[in-house]
Amino acid sequence: MRALTEDELRAALVNADADERRLATMPHDLVLADWDHLDFFAWRDPRSRGRAYLVTERAGRPVGVVLRAAETTSRARSAMCNVCHTMQPADQVSLFTARKAGDAGVQGDSVGTYICADLSCHENVRLAAPLAPSEVRASVDRRIDGTRHRAEAFVDRVRGEQGE
C-alpha cells in the first residue's frame, strides 16, 4: 500500500470521533513500516490498553477503524483468527469490537470479530508453514489474498457496507 503519514492514518479512522482521532497513538516503529509490502496496517495503541487500529487501502485511499479488545479471553485452548485464519493459543486471539461508522454507531451498533491479539496477521500468514512442499507458493498467495480480503471486508462492515 501507499506510505501513510500519521495525519493520514488518524484521518482514515471512519468510526472515530475527533477526540479518538487526536488521542490515537501511533506505533513506535511507524517510520520503519515497509509500506510496499503491506496489504493493510494494524497496530495496538501503545498508550491506551485495549485500543487498536486497522487501516486498509480502498481505491488508493486509506480507510481504517478503531477497535477495542475485550478484556476476557476464551477458555478454549486454541482459537482461530478470523482475519488470517491462523490457529493460535487462545490467549493470543482477542475479540475486537468496532463501533459502526455514522448513525448506526451513534445508536450503539458495533461489529466484532476474533483477531490475533497483537494484530500480526500480516506477518502470521506469511510465516505459517505450508502443509506440503508442493503447495508452497500458490497456497501461501491464496492465504495472503484471503487475509487482505477479510481485513477489508471487516472494515466494510464497520463502514456499514455489505461485507462477508
Region binding Zn ion by CB under 5 A among candidate stretches 11-19, 33-41, 99-107, 110-118: 110-118
Choice between 8 and 118, CB closer to Zn ion: 118
Of 84, 95, 101, 111, the one binding Zn ion (CB under 5 A) is 84
Contact 65, 15 (CB under 8 A): yes
Q: What is the 3-state secondary structure (H, E, C) of 53-112?
A: EEEEEECCEEEEEEEEECCCCCCCCEEECCCCCCEEEHHHEEEEEEECCHHHHHCCCEEE
Q: Does 111 help bind Zn ion (rule: CB under 5 A)?
A: no
DSSP code of 163?
A: -
89 near 78, Cβ under 8 Å? yes
Q: Which is nearer to Zn ion, 10 or 69 (CB)?
A: 69
Q: Does 101 bind Zn ion (CB under 5 A)?
A: no
> Rounded distance, CA 58 to CA 55, Å?
10
Contact by Cβ (8 Å): 150, 56: no
Applying CB under 5 A, does 81 fall inside the site for Zn ion? yes
Query: Does residue 121 bind Zn ion (CB under 5 A)?
Result: yes
Q: Which of 16, 54, 101, 116 binds Zn ion (CB under 5 A)?
A: 116
Smallest gap, in angstroms, from Cβ of residue 108 to Zn ion?
A: 27
The reply to whether 42 sits near Zn ion by the rule CB under 5 A is: no
Residues of the shown chain interacting with Zn ion in the complex, contacts defined by CB under 5 A = 81, 83-84, 116, 121
